[in-house]
Amino acid sequence: MTDIIKTSKLCKTFSNGGIQQHVLRNIDMTIRKGDFTIIMGASGAGKSTLLYSLSGMDKPTLGEISFDGEEITKKNSDQMAMFRRKNCGFVFQQTYLVDSMSVLDNVMAAGLLNDNDRNAVIKRSQDILKKVDIGEELWGKFPNQLSGGEAQRVGIARAFVNSPKIVFADEPTGALNSKTGKDVLDALTGFNRNGQTIVMVTHDMTSARRGNRILYVRDGEIAGELDLGTYVSGDRDRHQKLRDFLSGMGW
Amino acid sequence: MNKIILLTKSHFKKNRGSSVGILLLMVIASLLISMSLLIITDAYPTARKESDRLNAGDGYLRVTTNSGSFDDDGIRTLMGDDVSEYCVYRCLNYVACALPFGDGDMSVNVMVGDRDAFGKTIGRTEIVTEDISVKSDYIYLPYQFSTSGGYSIGDTFSFDLNGGRYVLTVRGFTTTPYHGCNNTGSFELVVDDATYERIYERDHEVASCVTIYYKLREGVTQSKFAIRVNNDVIVMDPMAVITGNLSIENTISGRTFMSLILVVSFLTITAIVAFVIVLMLSNSISIFIRENMKTIGALKAIGYTSSDIRRSVIAQFLILSVIGSLTGIIVSFISMPFIGKFIVAQMGIPYTVSFNAIPVIVTVGSMLIFTFLIAELAVIKIRKIEPIIALRNGLESHNFKRNSLPLSKSPFSLDMSLGLKTMFFNMKQNIITFLIMGVIVFICILGLLMYENFNRNPKLGMLAFEVTGGVVAFDNDTKEEAREYLEDREDATNIRQIITLDMTYNGEDSLCVYIVDDTAKLNNQDVCYQGRLPQYDNEIAVSGVFARDYSLNIGEEVSITYGDRSYPYLITGLIQTTNNNGREGVMSMDAAGRVIDLTNSPGYFWFDCEDKETSAAILEGCNERFGDHLLSKMNFYEIIDGSLMTFKSLAALMLVTIVIISAAVILLVLYLLIKALIYNKRRDYGIYKAIGYTSRDLVLQTAISFMPSILISTVLFSVISYFTVNPFMNIIMISFGLMKCSFDIPIPGVVITAAGMIVLSFIFALISSGRVRKIEAYEMITGE
């Protein structure tokens, strides 16, 4: 498999009142195309910072990130926005849908960024909403009229509507109950099976099992890596393997 | 108290941008209020203050005569018991004399005297400024020659008097209550003794005059006194010509007339702009509370009462109000010498801004009261805020019931569609923008109208009884021949005779009557705004102001007297006039024949011609052909150039002022509204950026979201203003005697104004929306 993202000596330091906090330290890593990569770690380990640095949402303090061979850390804010619209999809823990827009408009607002053919975008948005099990009766509703699971699936539809090269998910099930969380994970797994590259941050083992590759972050460094192989529902060995790996990491 | 101060300081720190925006609006409002008050209480009353200072008395009577009847005894008898005190001044007087002024000539009555002019006890003439090193061949000019005539001390002043040419050096400028302004129709020139002797020798037989400045006894009315002395003068010397009989009130109103038009217009604009600012301030305070909802919730949560928070918010705006109003007042005092100069230039009076407590007290007081009321109303909602609700979300001000402009159905581009969605989201602020833009469009069209009609293409028909190319007066011996001469000239057209005479109504009021040989020949047919101009020998048209004051109507009879003859004329129409305090009328020669025999009177011929040069050629032709039989001549084009110069400057100043104020208000309004919008939508903007929208996209969408209301308002109010600004001006002008305004409003000008405002607003909206760039997607996620 080829790498889609490659980092070199990636560092991120926050400065607050003269006190410097090194959140990421000299990270060299790769994200492979088609992988469902899971980033795990304890709270404050730097996993979300790593995710948003990889996606270009946040700028690293030092180091380089190469996306499909293109160095992205030197891009300015608007260039990064253009980069994201072309290459990335995002699923957030808090969904972050635009409250003043209907469900369909939320998805289309992303779809129309890359495609001026309105009819094609409408069709694609509707198809993807159906795919994440958001029925037509919900398309005209506003985000605050949806349940948490429905809203998150709309968020997933928005992330995938442009068929991005990579989707970044930041604890997408963190605010959901187990049933709706499972639906969301099923949706993500489904997209990954069709070849979609996904990078997901989670501290939930159930969610982590969906990935085929686990990266464990500790104190701003990649402390360990586990290849889990393709996800198969009910695979107990896989579950144990992950448990052992995490135990070894001090989880 | 300490906690209130603490909170107030915190509000300022947290809302620096909004505070500065609101402060600037307050400065503009205070500046306008203070300046209006300064104009009303300081600059405009300059004429009255100066008259009092120069002991103007109640009026003056000027008689051109060589008769010995007007010796000291004769004058004492003439004044009689009606007058408590008077002062006699003897000099030379020239009717309708052209003096170089500004870019042209000024045609006025000119009094020429020696230094005795400075010895008058009533209606004093004083030197404003002089250079005593000029020892001979000098002249003192009225101060208006300095303020708007373009002259300085040491300049050469060349002029003609009764065919004699004089070239003198300007030694200084004078101020006088009666003879210092072209609008009062009389200038007083003071020359050195030797020059005066020279002029006197040459002209005393035709120009000797006596001027009596008087104070009336209590109970004696000016109009009745004027009528009596007019009759007595004719009895004393049948050859005497009364060349001036004016009250101080008429002089002041004439002197301040043009300034008053601008003062009233300025005040009107001030009132409109103040309304806009009131609207904006109340909205800004509301926005401020919404933006600070979480802070308010937090303060309540830690134990501050609603009352503490309300007082701190009100204190914040009251502090802004005090700073804003004081700054506005200081700026108004600083700029007043410049603005006041324009206002008083037309009056020809030296003006220095004096400290005046009224603008300070009224401005600060009104701003404080207004701010307190607005803030008090706005902060009422603080009481209703529950801390937990405020801490979570603030008060939800939007209820999403309709998905306005679904993207799936929008025919517009993505930026446009999202911009329009934002507009629907932000409808209340867009309505405010709509209203504010509408009002600003109206005042801009008003400024355009004033510029067009008072500067670019002066609407002389609104200011003068008749518009012409030139006027020539011939003595009785040659008037018929002169008329034939003029009619034979190809460059002179529409020859008509117009004589002006002061008649009386009911023995109690004077009426300046234009006697016209054929009213159909008048260029300014619009002077008659109701009914028709008189045609027959029993008809008269009177001014609307006169008709209103005496409850006269078209179809009624009005008894007009000249000398000892009266006739009841039928009123056929009402004319609008700004001269003679609105005491004017018009009748035909035949009609005038009912009360006066004009057979032997001089002939006053008005003619039309192509331009200033043609008029000059015609006048020169008359001079060469008729010599001393030509009594006076006037090039109307040059008169316009000279007398309208200051007025033109004022109209241009008004337009510039309106444009600057409008631009500033639009900028501040858009800044505050867009800042509030971005604050309210900062989460959405963060989401948009996260999914790939660039700052450029979002800036454009934000600016676009305000454009429909700006566009619709500008277009709609341009059309509305086009049709309503004349009736609006009518309301203003009616007090000046203009009963029916029909000012020109150039459509290209309206289009350019509207287009300019739209473009300007869009640029301002783009600039104000630039703060979207500061929003980072990552901050939205991390909650920073």
**Cα B608 to Cα A47: distance, rounded to the nearest angstrom:** 91
Specify whether B78 is located in the same domain as B101: yes
Q: Residues B300, B305, B307, B313: is their CA dihedral positive or negative?
A: negative
Mean pLDDT, range B18-23, rounded to an integer: 83
Q: What percent of chain B has pLDDT over 70?
A: 93
B690 vs A90, A105, A125: nearest CB: A90
Residue that is last in its domain, among B595, B613, B643: B643
Mean pLDDT, range B411-435, rounded to an integer: 87
List CB contacts (< 8 A) between A99 and chain B.
398, 400, 683-684
Task: Answer yes or no: is B9 within a domain.
Answer: no
Determine the structural domain holding residue A74 and report its residue range.
3-99+164-248
Q: Strand A213-218 relative to strand B509-516: parallel, antiparallel, unpaired?
A: unpaired
**Cα B310 to Cα B703: distance, rounded to the nearest angstrom:** 33
A213 pLDDT above the threshold of 90: yes
Helices (H), B557-644: 589-592, 612-626, 636-643
The tokens for A229 are 């192989």
pLDDT, tens only, B488-544: 988 989 999 888 887 888 767 778 889 998 888 888 888 888 899 999 989 999 988
Angle, nearest 10°, between helix axes B72-79 and B222-236?
A: 140
Q: Is the CB of residue B770 less than 8 Å from the CB of residue B675?
A: no
Three-state DSSP class for B732? helix
- Count: domains in chain B: 3
pLDDT recorded at residue A234:
75
Residue that is last in its domain, among B207, B239, B271: B239
Question: Given an 8 Å threshold on Cβ–Cβ distance, is B683 in contact with A96?
Answer: yes
Specify whether B636 is located in the same domain as B580: yes
**Residue B686 host element (H or E):** helix B682-690
Tell me the backbone φ, ψ of residue A138, rounded to 5 degrees: -100, -10
Greater confidence (B110 vs B355) lies with B110
The tokens for A148 are 């948490």
A223 touches chain B (CB under 8 A): no
Question: Given an 8 Å threshold on Cβ–Cβ distance, is A102 in contact with B403?
Answer: yes
- Average pLDDT of chain B is 84
Least confident of A126-135, B188-197, B213-222, B638-647: B638-647
Q: What interface predicted TM-score (ipTM) does this complex get?
A: 0.86
The tokens for A247 are 């135990």
CA B287 to chain centre: 37
Task: Answer yes or no: is A136 within a domain.
Answer: no
Q: Which residue of B has its CA nearest to A112?
A: B414
Question: Given an 8 Å threshold on Cβ–Cβ distance, is A52 in contact with B691?
Answer: no
Mean pLDDT, range B323-341, rounded to an integer: 87
A52 touches chain B (CB under 8 A): yes
Three-state DSSP class for B275? helix
Q: Which residue of B has its CA nearest to A59?
A: B778
Q: Which residue of A has its CA nearest to B684?
A: A98
pLDDT, tens only, B729-754: 888 777 666 777 778 899 999 999 99
pLDDT, tens only, B336-360: 887 777 777 777 788 777 777 888 9
Mean pLDDT, range A205-224, rounded to an integer: 91
User: How close, in Å, is residue A212 to chain B by CA atoms?
Assistant: 26
pLDDT recorded at residue A183:
86
pLDDT, tens only, B445-475: 988 988 888 888 877 766 677 888 888 888 8
Which residues have CB under 8 Å from B191's CB, separation 6+?
Answer: B112, B113, B114, B138, B139, B140, B166, B168, B199
Q: Which residue in B403, B409, B691, B772 has the most chain A C-beta atoms within 10 A of its own C-beta, making it the best mutation to test that interface?
A: B691
pLDDT, tens only, B239-262: 888 877 778 888 887 777 766 776
Reported as a pLDDT band with limits 50, 70 and 90, residue B331 is very high
Task: Answer yes or no: is A47 within a domain.
Answer: yes
pLDDT recorded at residue A104:
93
**Cα A169 to Cα A171: distance, rounded to the nearest angstrom:** 6
User: How close, in Å, is residue A104 to chain B by CA atoms?
Assistant: 8
Specify whether B589 is located in the same domain as B607: yes
pLDDT recorded at residue B395:
47
Burial of A11 (0-12, 13-18, 19+ CB in 10 A): middle
Task: Answer yes or no: is A158 within a domain.
Answer: no
List CB contacts (< 8 A) between A98 and chain B.
684, 687-688
Specify whether B446 is located in the same domain as B466: no
B403 pLDDT above the threshold of 70: yes
pLDDT, tens only, B641-668: 766 776 777 788 888 888 888 898 889 8
Reported as a pLDDT band with limits 50, 70 and 90, residue A216 is very high
Q: Which residue in B699, B771, B781, B782 has the most chain A C-beta atoms within 10 A of its own C-beta, making it the best mutation to test that interface?
A: B781
Sheet holding A166-170: strands in order across?
Answer: A88-91, A166-170, A197-201, A36-41, A213-218, A221-227
CB–CB contacts below 8 A, A to B = 96
Mean pLDDT, range A235-248, rounded to an integer: 87
B198 pLDDT above the threshold of 80: yes
Task: Answer yes or no: is B251 within a domain.
Answer: no
Specify whether B82 is located in the same domain as B144: yes
Task: Answer yes or no: is B679 within a domain.
Answer: yes
A105 vs B407, B693, B694: nearest CB: B407
Task: Answer yes or no: is B55 within a domain.
Answer: no
Task: Answer yes or no: is B287 within a domain.
Answer: no
Task: Answer yes or no: is A149 within a domain.
Answer: no
Specify whether B540 is located in the same domain as B607: yes
Question: Given an 8 Å threshold on Cβ–Cβ distance, is B688 in contact with A109?
Answer: yes
Residue that is last in its domain, among B239, B259, B282: B239
| A 225-244 residues with CB < 8 A to B | none
Question: Given an 8 Å threshold on Cβ–Cβ distance, is A99 in contact with B400?
Answer: yes
Specify whether B444 is located in the same domain as B578: no
Please, what is the Cα angle at B452 between B446 and B456, to 5 degrees?
150
The CA–CA distances, whole Å, from A113 to A54, A116, A153, A158, B521 equal 21, 8, 20, 11, 72
Task: Answer yes or no: is B44 within a domain.
Answer: no
Task: Answer yes or no: is A111 within a domain.
Answer: no
Determine the structural domain holding residue B193 and report its residue range.
66-239
Task: Answer yes or no: is B481 within a domain.
Answer: yes
pLDDT recorded at residue B14:
67
**Cα A82 to Cα B691: distance, rounded to the nearest angstrom:** 9
Specify whether B776 is located in the same domain as B638: no
Task: Answer yes or no: is B332 within a domain.
Answer: no
- Count: domains in chain A: 1
pLDDT, tens only, B64-98: 888 888 898 999 998 988 999 999 999 999 877 87
Q: Is the CB of residue A158 less than 8 Å from the CB of residue A85?
A: no
SS (H, E, C) B7-36: HHHHHHHHCHHHHHHHHHHHHHHHHHHHHH
Q: Which residue of A has its CA nearest to B404?
A: A101
Specify whether B452 is located in the same domain as B472: no
Specify whether B694 is located in the same domain as B630: no
Q: Which residue of B has its CA nearest to A141?
A: B403
The tokens for B684 are 């959405």
Specify whether B777 is located in the same domain as B668: yes
CATH number for the domain spanning A26: value is 3.40.50.300
Specify whether B581 is located in the same domain as B437: no
List CB contacts (< 8 A) between A125 and chain B.
408
